[in-house]
Chain A
Amino acid sequence: MMRAFRNVYFTAGFIIAAGLLLASFLYSYWLKDIIPQPPERIYNEAGRLVDVPPYPPSWAHLFGVDRQGEDVFWKVIDGAKYTIFTALAVSLLRLAFGTVGGIIYAFYLQKFRFIAESIVRAFRFVPAIFLTMLFFAFIPLEEQGAGMEVLIKQILVFAAVALPPLMLVIGNDIAVFLQNEFVVSSRLMGANNFWLIRKHVLPYMRPRLFLLFIQQTVQSLLLLVHLGAFQILLGGVKIIDNSDGLGPPEKVAISLSNEWSGLIGLSYREMMLDQWIVVGPCVAFIVAIFAFKLMGKGLEQVIDEKGKRKQRKKQRSSAGKTASFPPQQSDFEFVLYK
């Protein structure tokens, strides 16, 4: 595991992701009180009113200021922890159930391969966002409620929609691995399935599972972006009355946290007016996804190298044998040419 940090890509990705999280926590516990709120009105030297929020991006407010007079940059930073932790939680759940399901599939359900594949195909061809939407379509936005219960329900659904394909991937990988000679001979010597799982399957799967974990995190982040566009909000919404007391009551839904998909989804109509309000969270999503992709790429390289190093070691140990004269049978070995 520590070897992964020697890889440039992995470390770079990790630093970006960790930096985002750190900044997010720093902000909500400490920086929040220090950083001044953007001015409610901007006057020029003559004391005349020039501008009211939303302000376009400037050096003082990197992503601009939104309609409620809040700095979009700090909103995005504040939301980072919710978004990233949700993505991590979803992919952790997927992986935990996926591994268990994959092992069961590889060991006991190989006979039903045909059925499993056609079931998984149904999950595979419908976009994950559409499946998710089906779960929430039957409840209108206002009645979804809010808070922890909704959040847990949503996370379970996000995990469930990608679970069957993941199970099949892990299961097929294990099933191929189980055909290795050392596994077969171990079984012949009387090892039961539990022993095989503990001593062979899990050590083999560990780096791969870690890679899958990161890839699934990327997938969950993508799902969150889609959710934003289709206006399904993490943790539900709160409806507030945004009217000024004169006009008709104007109901506006706000997300409970500054979580990114909510920031995108709720201000989507700002696109035609003040684009920077939407652009900020979009940039954040790209950065986060890029960071996790870098980590995945680095990890792939590490796993590849590990395999190569083992091969080299084997070659070296066989080269270390001194040839005897006259040559004996032990100096030769059968090589399978592929």
Chain B
Amino acid sequence: MKKWKLALTVLADLLLTILTIMAIIAFAQSYSLFPSPQMVTVFWQQFQQLFWSFFYIRDITVSLSQWHNAPLLSTMMEPYAYSLIILWGALAVSFLIAVTGAYICFLLPRPLQKIVKGIAFFLESIPDVIFIFSTQLFVIWVFKKTDLLIVDPVAGFDNVYVLPIVMISILPSIMLFQMTFLAFTEEKDKPYVEYALAKGLSKTAVLWRHMFRNALITVFSNMQYLFWFMLSNLLVTEYLFNMHGFFRFLYEQRHTPEVVAIGLAMLFLPFYIIDVAGKRVIAYLTGIERGVA
């Protein structure tokens, strides 16, 4: 019975969000500075059109060039898979970097900790666009100096995985590092840590067995935000590096609202899975159920 209820909530959640996406797109099309009755009719027509397009998903075609049309689903799959692999890879990498970084930083002496924190704070105020700009500049600079082309910065890397994953994961991992470190410092002053240390457990043991678990809750509850940040990074990277990813595809098809709506809905699925899975993990770690799903 409980499982049924859970499945129902998840379904309703998904449906509502996808409907909202459609509404946003329909509104974006009908938007004008001064509201008029015409705006409402346009909005309603668009909304209906988008809604029904989900039922005829097999019949939608996209124009790849002036003369060439192809069915949406088969065209979409390749960039979608590519982008998702990069996204999940980047998520894993940034998680790894952030947690090891926080762990190492936590064992450093206090003055060094302060310096690392200061650097992280400054790095965080670099916008992702500018970060990617500077990567491009760096690649060019290396090329000029040494004639070694790490990657072609303009023509894009065709289905190359390592470099985009690294690039997308750096800024989010700095963010995650700060969160994890903060969670560690908050955890440190709690009585159970003092008690464990007083009993003679080593600092590393306490850190791994006890504090890490509790700090993980903070990390997982910020997962949504991290994933969002990563999406924005991916969007910029794909655009600036001419990668053949999903966002690039959506950007090229931005004049056909149906494609954008379906694309965003598909992008929403992994996001939602992360959301639900994160809450499950927290519930498992703490043994407390916080709300359904």
Are B228 and A125 in touch, CB under 8 angstroms? yes
Q: Decide if B255 is an interface residue (CB 8 Å cutoff).
A: yes
Per the 8 Å Cβ criterion, residues 224-248 of B in contact with A are 224, 227-228, 231-232, 235-236, 239-240, 247
Interface SS of A by simple majority: helix
Kindly count the residue-residue contacts between A and B in the assembled complex, taking CB atoms under 8 Å apart: 112
**Chain A residues whose CB sits within 8 angstroms of the CB of B232 once the complex forms:** 127-129, 226
* Contact in complex: B17, A122 (CB < 8 Å): yes
Residue of B whose beta carbon sits closest to that of A218: B125
- 19 A-B contact pairs sorted by A residue (CB < 8 Å): A115-B16, A118-B12, A122-B18, A124-B224, A125-B231, A127-B232, A128-B232, A129-B232, A130-B235, A134-B28, A138-B28, A157-B31, A225-B127, A225-B129, A226-B232, A229-B129, A282-B130, A286-B126, A286-B130
Distance of A152 Cα from B236 Cα, bound (Å): 26
B254: interface (CB < 8 Å): yes
Give the interface of B toward A (CB within 8 A).
12-13, 16-18, 20-21, 24-25, 28-29, 31, 33, 121-122, 124-127, 129-130, 133-134, 136-137, 140, 154, 224, 227-228, 231-232, 235-236, 239-240, 247, 250-251, 254-255, 260, 264, 267-268, 271-272, 275
- Specify the chain A residue showing the minimal Cβ separation from B124: A293
Q: How far is the CB of A311 from chain B (nearest CB, A)?
A: 15
B125 and A286 contacting across the interface, CB-CB below 8 Å: yes
Task: Find out whether the CB atom of A225 lies under 8 angstroms from the CB atom of B130.
Answer: yes
Contact A229 B268 (CB under 8 A): no
Are B17 and A118 in touch, CB under 8 angstroms?
yes
Within A93-127, the residues touching B (CB, 8 Å) are 114-115, 118-119, 121-127
Q: Binary interface profile of A, 210-245, with partner B (CB < 8 Å = 1, else 0)?
A: 000000001001100110111000000000000000
Measured CA separation A156–B33 after assembly (Å): 9
Q: Are A125 and B227 neighbours in the complex by a CB distance under 8 Å? A: yes
Stretch at the interface among A75-83, A192-200, A271-279: A271-279
- Give the distance in Å from the alpha carbon of A93 to the alpha carbon of B130 in the complex: 26
With CB as the reference atom, state the residue of chain A lying closest to B32. A153
| Any B CB within 8 A of the CB of A208 | no
Bound complex: CA A186 to CA B28 (Å): 44
A127 x B127 contact (CB < 8 A): no
- Which single member of B17, B122, B126, B231 contacts A121 (CB below 8 Å)? B17
User: What is the minimal beta-carbon distance from B190 to any residue of chain A, in angstroms?
Assistant: 10
- Cα A134 to Cα B250 with chains together (Å): 10
A230 CA to B132 CA, complexed, in Å: 14
Instruction: Write out the residue numbers on chain B whose beta carbons fall within 8 Å of the beta carbon of A129.
Output: 232, 235
Q: Which residues of B contact A118 (CB under 8 A)?
A: 12-13, 16-17, 20
Q: Are A229 and B236 in contact (CB under 8 A)?
A: yes
| Cross-interface CB contact of A271 among B24, B137, B271, cutoff 8 Å | B137
Closest to A293 in B: B125
Residue contact A134 to B260, C-beta cutoff 8 Å: yes
Contact A285–B127 (Cβ < 8 Å): yes
Find the B residue at minimum CB distance from A278.
Answer: B133
Contacts of B250 in A (CB 8 A): 130
